[in-house]
Structure 1
Amino acid sequence: MTQSIQQLITQWAHAVASRDMTQIMAFYANDLIAFDAVAQLQFSGKAAYQTHWQQCLEFCPGGHSTFELRDLTIKQNDALGFSHALVYCAGSNEKGEIQGCWMRLTQGWQQQQGQWRIIHDHFSVPFDMVSGAVLFELTPEA
């Protein structure tokens, strides 16, 4: 029996918080399409997204890392699943200062050879349409 998407998301989030690149990438399908909040409009394929993930992890070289999911919702049938949550991602810079913000996360999951794999990853940060400023200070409580 395959693991539930709920269990897998928990394991994936733990891998991200632990900065374990091998474990992070184990959850993704080879034909993944990702819309990340950083760097470019989309990433096609697991290899391209792995390079991006590595760059993101290197952005916070300090020892502290937080990756917290909140308000996780999952819908699934036998072959496809859809999840969304708010995620707090933070890490420490070279000075030991914590840098982080809340983002939105949506993932598409598909059963592939008896295993759930992420086929679509979408991280986003809200912005102000008038000024164009990214709203990093928003919190779920606001």
Structure 2
Amino acid sequence: MKVMVIVRATKSSEAGEMPSEQLLTEMGNFNEELSKAGIFLAAEGLHPSSNGARIRFSGKDRTVTDGPFTETKELIAGFWLWKVSSMQEAIDWVTRCPNPMTEDSDIEIRQVFEFDDFGEALTPELREQEERVQTEVAERNNNAQGIPASKDEDEIRSLAKAWSGSLESKDVDAMLTGYSEDILLYDVKPPYRLKGLEAYRANWEACLPYFPAKMKSEHRDFTVTVDGDVAFAHGLHHVVPIDEESPVGQTWLRITIGYQRTEGEWRVMHEHVSVPFDPMTEKVSYITDEVIAETI
């Protein structure tokens, strides 16, 4: 689901007070976290309403009123667009956000309408038109940045996002969606390999009872490379327990995933999950946030 995360205006934002270097740094770091988690779509800050205008619609009449507008609490100072698995995920991220204002402020979360929400009113012709417009806009924006649009990469990221949501709900059947019958898994624990969808299922069914009742599944530095009908992704993954103590999630796991397009759909053919191993101590080396920060 997509959500718009709305930053409400305050007296300082309407007065045109600019954020400090410290706040810009904090917000930049937060946006970077959103991007690495794969949920960041867009974000913009807005000038005060004194630089804007309001148009009133009444039948065929249009009345223009120049800013500023007095009802500060009803105004918007900025927004994000995120793609999340649930409203709760959006709420969790907002609670981690630095206060975007120098005084007390409010952030509102609103779900964005998807095509299916409009029902029969959105005819196939209208849907095709809207999809065409969105594709043209995406291609124009990407070309302006020198980046070719990649529907394949979006599909693969969507698979990873859906898998995370299924893991959080411990829905093994849903976790298997998008996996090949011949999946080959090199897991972080014995045996050294598992082959086939049923072995993959049994592996997760044996593991999930040891996971927290509630948890957050997170990817980091998830990079996708596509070449024809073959693709691979690599990055880090972990789960974060919610409202309980659990050893799960103490380390990020390194992941590499191989994909192949079969009958028009991407399928996971191979997964490799690991943590570093120190041969001098014969112990694994945890990948913590501190270790990652030192490596960058």
Question: TM-score, length-normalised on structure 2?
Answer: 0.44
Decide whether aligned partners of structure 1 residues 137 and 108 sit closer, same or farther in structure 2, where only a CA change above 3 A counts. Answer: closer
Q: How does 1:85-100 map to 2 (within 5 A)?
A: 85-91=235-241, 96-99=244-247, 100=249
Aligned to 1:51: 202
For residue 23 of structure 1, the aligned residue among 174, 179, 183 is 174
**What is the number of equivalent residue pairs in this alignment?**
138
Alignment partner, residue 119 of structure 1: 269
Greater relative contact order: 1 or 2 (C-alpha under 8 angstroms, separation 6 or more)?
1
In structure 2, relative to structure 1, the CA distance for the partners of 1:138 and 1:44 (3 Å cut) is: same
- The answer for unaligned runs of 5 or more in structure 1 is none
Among candidates 79, 82, 95, match of residue 232 of structure 2: 82
In 1, Cα distance between equivalents of 2:222 and 2:163:
13
Q: Report the equivalent of 2:135.
A: none
Q: Distance in 1 between matches of 2:280 and 2:257?
A: 29
Q: Distance in 1 between matches of 2:293 and 2:214?
A: 24
Give the distance between the partners of 2:293 and 2:201, measured in 1 at CA. Answer: 32
Q: Give the CA deviation at 1:137.
A: 5.3
- The secondary structure found in structure 1 opposite 2:252 is strand
8 A contact 2:187–2:274 mirrored in 1: yes
1:141 corresponds to 2:293: yes
Q: Aligned equivalents of 2:186 and 2:287: distance in 1?
A: 21
Letter in 2 for 1:19: K
Percent of paired sites with the same residue = 28
Structure 1 segments of 4+ aligned residues over 2 angstroms from their partners: 89-92, 136-142
Counterpart AA for 2:246:
I
C-alpha distance in 2, partners of 1:81/1:16? 22
TM-score by length of 1: 0.87
Structure having the higher Rg: 2
Structure 2 regions of 5+ residues with no counterpart? Answer: 1-150
Residues 44-94 of structure 1 deviation map (CA, whole Å, 9 limit, x = unaligned): 11111110011111122x4122221000100012311100011123447xx
Deviations 1:72-119 (A, max 9, x none): 100012311100011123447xxx422222110100001112111100
Q: Secondary structure at the match of 2:221?
A: strand
Structure with greater strand share of residues: 1
Matches of 2:287 and 2:226 in 1, distance apart? 32
Q: Which amino acid aligns with 2:198?
A: A
More helix by share: 2
Equivalent residue letter for 1:65:
M
